Amino acid sequence: MSETSAWILRALFVAVLATLPFLVNGYWLNMAILALIYSLVVYSITVLTGFTGLLSFGQAGFVGLGGYTYGVLSVKGVDPAAAAAWGLLVPTVAGFLLGLPAARLRGHYLAIGTLGFGVLVGQMLNNMVDVTRGPMGLLGIKSFGFDRVTWFYFVLALAVGLCAALEYLDRRTFLGVVLKSVKYDEISASASGIGVFAVKLLAFSASAFLAGSCGVLLAAYMRFLTPDLFISAESFRYLMMSVVGGVGSASGAIISSLILTAVPEALRAFGETNVRLLVYGLMVLFVLWFLPGGIGGLIDRLMTPVRRRITPRPRVAEPAPQPTSLPGRAS
Amino acid sequence: MRLTALTLLATLCGGGLLAMPTLANAQTATETVKVGVILPLTGNTAWGGRPAKVAAELAAAEVNAKGLAGKYKLDLVFADGACEPRTSYGAAEKLINEDRVQVMIGEWCSSASVAAAQVAADAKVPMVVQISTADGIAKNAGPYVFQSIMQNGEVQEREAELLLQKFQFKTAAILVENNDFGLSFRKNIREILERKGIKVVLDIPQDRHDVNWYSIITSIQGANPDIVVASISAGQAANFVKQYAESNMKTPLFFDYPPPPYIFEKQVGEQAGKLGLVRGAFFLKNPDMSQREKDFVAAFEPRAEKELGAPHPTVHWDIVTYDAVMLVADALKRAGAKPDDLAAALAKADYQGVLAHYQFDADRGVKPEGFEFVFIRTTPEGGLEVVK
């Protein structure tokens, strides 16, 4: 596919999304708004895991911090704009602070560390009853005063803009190269003069900022919060969206957010029984089976110019065959 | 030819005459009101949601057959809330924006009801929260939301009164599961017991996913309270009772009302019976129940058995769902289907249901005076009895 065709396809995708308010009823428009809001937290995983190689199981914690900071402040009468600013600041600072120890961890240890953070935030929101109203839920949160269609265009612009920015960052900037160098080989990156620890801290903070912005928008749009929205299972749901989208692909992230938010609702047509959950699970499994690189991998394959795909790869000398048994030892 | 024309004229006149009563009927014809019902039809609370759906259908059938909603017929539209706020939010959005329901009932878990209530409040669709007991759902959601079940603070006030009557104790241990029930129970019951002069010697929440209660049971042995007062939901409660019985504990045990009667007894009836477990309940089938309750049980249980494919003894969650549909029908009959009129009629409800007498206070919470509350005990044979 040529570069021009790729741009036409992208523009078509955005144009189709932009016509949604004229094509669907309020229910589906609401689902689209939620999906676009969720795409922000999937972007946060794209930055942290996709670009930098840091696996996080605690993204729901950042979403919860952003949402509850906005929610609690707005209920207490703080202006929504100021509450939103605090809602972005608090998770970003938390991300930075979490990054201080977490950036020193790798692999399973990092995953468990971030999981612990998610659990900690969930428990905190549940137990700080005097501040968050805990399990009773926080109702009456003030919004930005948009109607549903304005909300849609607002989050669409935000999600598409961020998607473009992340794709640009990934493919066209030096920072993108730096992030990937840390992802693929920390030692080489360090030897090349890259401050690996600082890069990881930056990734944690940026990721927390994006996740926090998802929380702020969720709180402002839905106008209620309960701690159950930010439990660890939600972190895994966001991770699933990211994996189906193709970790590291912002375009895949927005598409998978839309699909994985809409599909469970569409499957209500199968009846309000366990059948729809089964169908949903099978669909996700099939996507992972046939598209191991996720939707992003498929997009990359389609966007790669045909010429490059059919050009034979340079032949690499085959490695010498390994001995099947140790020399000098009777088999 | 003339004959044919005359025949045609006669047919038209006759047809017209025959049609007159039909037209007259059409002027007073029934209108259908769509009632959205959100229940946990999947997930780990579907054990309760599915029978409650049968109860709602029973109520709607009765309303439509007997004309209990005046000129209105009820058309129930069900949606699965799965006891999750996100799913319930989606369900409420679907019911209001796609199915165009005019009134809603639901959900089960408080966090899910909070989500649905916000959607109903924003859309100005009257909603009756019939099962969730978290404090202030209606109060915080605004003028279109009503809570037709006693709230946690009121339930626990009633439980504390009964506890002090039925048990002799000066010290208590409070154990809760770290969820919406548990935490509000912990806050309320501690406050009430301390106000009554009871010393709380242990007060521990346990994570809802942690099935190992032995360390807490060891703490209970150390604190040596006169009674253990617990609020733990269905699955976890069974784990706790098993481990409590295995640890050979002798301290009397009291549970808040969530473990569902009969299902819980199927799981750990033997161990609970050995402990003489007492818990709160809004309802238990017994020979002294009211005629309304007897009639409900007689109509509901065969229908539930047919729909669910297994016998289902009546529990209060079924009755309050039935009553919620009846409350809506009563309000429709009095005020019509316009949202503001319906909400105003619900606010003025003075309705004798099966489980309770329903009247709402200024915050649209049901007045607790209308509810009976009893203590039930698991018998050594694993059965259930009302504590006299």
CB pairs under 8 A between A and B: 101
State whether B159 and B139 are in the same domain.
no
Asked if B223 and B201 count as a contact pair (C-beta separation under 8 A), the reply is: yes
Gap between the Cα atoms of B9 and A262, Å rounded:
59
Contacts of B347 (CB under 8 A, 6+ apart): B146, B360, B364
Q: Does A223 touch chain B if contact means CB atoms closer than 8 Å?
A: yes
Q: Which residue has the tokens 């137990």?
A: A127
CB atoms within 10 A of CB B203: 15
What is the nearest CA distance from A140 to chain B, expressed in angstroms? Answer: 7
Predicted pLDDT of residue A309: 53
Query: Does B175 map to a domain?
Result: yes
Q: pLDDT tens for residues A152-198? A: 999 999 999 999 999 999 989 999 999 999 999 999 999 999 999 99
**Range from A239-248, A312-321, B355-364 carrying the lowest mean pLDDT:** A312-321
Per-residue pLDDT, averaged over A258-262, amounts to: 92
A123 and B CB contact within 8 Å: yes
* Residue range(s) defining the domain that contains residue A166: 3-230
Residue B187's alpha-carbon distances to B178, B234, B308, in angstroms, are: 12, 20, 37
Q: Which residue of B has its CA nearest to A232?
A: B209
Q: Confirm whether B271 is domain-assigned.
A: yes
Residues in a beta bridge with B384: B378
Put simply, the answer to whether B78 touches A228 (Cβ < 8 Å) is no
Whether residue B83 is contained in a domain is answered as yes
Q: What is the pLDDT along chain B (388 residues), one digit of tens a residue?
A: 444 544 544 554 444 444 444 444 444 567 999 999 999 999 888 999 999 999 999 999 999 999 999 999 999 999 999 999 999 999 999 999 999 999 999 999 988 999 999 999 999 999 999 999 988 899 999 999 999 999 988 998 899 888 988 888 999 999 998 876 788 788 889 998 999 899 999 999 888 778 899 999 999 999 999 999 999 887 788 999 999 999 999 899 999 888 889 889 988 998 999 999 999 999 999 988 999 999 999 999 999 999 999 999 999 999 999 999 999 999 999 999 999 999 999 999 999 999 999 999 999 999 999 999 999 999 988 889 998 7
Domain-embedded: residue B50? yes
Contact across the interface for A265 and B90, Cβ inside 8 Å: yes
Do residue B324 and residue B344 come from a single domain? Answer: yes
- Categorize the per-residue pLDDT at A314 as very low, low, confident or very high, splitting at 50, 70 and 90: low
Asked if residue A264 has pLDDT above 90, the reply is: no
Asked if the model's pLDDT at residue A139 lies above 60, the reply is yes
The domain boundary, picked from B250, B281, B312, lies at: B281
Distance from CA of B345 to the nearest CA of A (A): 24
Q: Do A136 and B110 touch (CB under 8 A)?
A: yes
Quick count: other Cβ atoms within 10 Å of Cβ B120? 29
Count of domains for chain B: 2
| Residue B346's CATH number | 3.40.50.2300
> In whole angstroms, what is the distance from residue B382 CA to residue B380 CA?
5
Cis amide prior to B107 (ω within 30 degrees): yes
pTM tops 0.95: no
What pLDDT is stored for residue A241 in this prediction? 93
Contacts of A265 in chain B (CB under 8 A): 90, 94
Contact A139 B141 (CB under 8 A): yes
Claim to verify: residue B92 and residue B142 sit in the same structural domain? yes
- Judged by a CB distance cut-off of 8 A, whether residue A272 touches chain B is yes
Instruction: Report the domain count for chain A.
Output: 1
Q: Are B307 and B54 in contact (CB under 8 A)?
A: yes
Of A135-149, A300-314, B44-58, the poorest mean pLDDT is in: A300-314
Of B42, B87, B93, which is closest to A30 when you measure between CB atoms?
A: B93
**B167 and B232 belong to one structural domain:** yes
Residues B206 and B299 in one domain: no
Whether B295 and B258 map to the same domain: the answer is no
Q: Is residue B77 part of a domain?
A: yes
- Work out the minimum CA distance from A135 to partner chain B, whole angstroms: 4
Q: In whole numbers, what is the pLDDT of chain A averaged over residues?
A: 88
**What is the per-residue pLDDT for B263?**
87
> CA of A116, closest CA in chain B: separation in Å?
14
CB A87 within 8 A of CB A219: yes
Could you tell me the pLDDT band of residue A322, with boundaries at 50, 70 and 90? low
A233 touches chain B (CB under 8 A): no
B18-41 b/e (C-beta count within 10 Å ≥ 16 → b): eeeeeeeeeeeeeeebbbbbbbbb
Using the Cβ of A134 and the Cβ atoms of chain B, whether some distance falls under 8 Å is answered with: yes
Residues in A touching B118 (Cβ below 8 Å)? 139, 222-224
CA-to-CA distance for B277 and B283, rounded, in angstroms? 17
- In sequence order, the β-bridge partners of residue B129 are B147
Is A265 in CB contact (< 8 Å) with chain B? yes
Question: How far apart are the C-alpha atoms of B127 and B138, rounded to whole Å?
Answer: 9
Is B12 inside a domain boundary? no
Please indicate, yes or no, whether residues B240 and B265 belong to a single structural domain of this protein: yes
Task: Fill in the DSSP letter of residue A320.
Answer: P
pLDDT for the residue numbered B12: 45
**Is B246 in the same domain as B165?**
yes
**Cβ pair B98:A27 closer than 8 A:** yes
Q: Are residues B113 and B161 in the same domain?
A: no
| Distance between B203 CA and the closest CA of chain A, angstroms | 14
On whether both B162 and B277 belong to a single domain, the answer is: yes
Q: Could you give the C-alpha distances from B311 to A169, B264, B301, B303, in angstroms and in order?
A: 62, 15, 7, 9
Is B263 found in the same domain as B208? Answer: yes
Residue B266 domain boundaries: 153-281
**What pLDDT score was predicted for residue B26?**
44
Is residue B216 packed enough to be buried (19+ CB in 10 Å), middle (13-18) or exposed (0-12)? buried
- Of B256, B281, B306, at which residue does a domain stop? B281
- Token pair, residue B302, equals 């065969």
Chain B CB within 8 Å of residue A281 CB: no
Tell me whether residues A229 and B85 touch, CB distance under 8 A.
yes
The amino acid present at A19, given as its one-letter code, is T
Q: Are B213 and B228 in contact (CB under 8 A)?
A: no
**Least confident segment among A56-65, A285-294, B78-87, B137-146:** A285-294
| Domain membership flag for residue B25 | no
* Domain contains B20: no
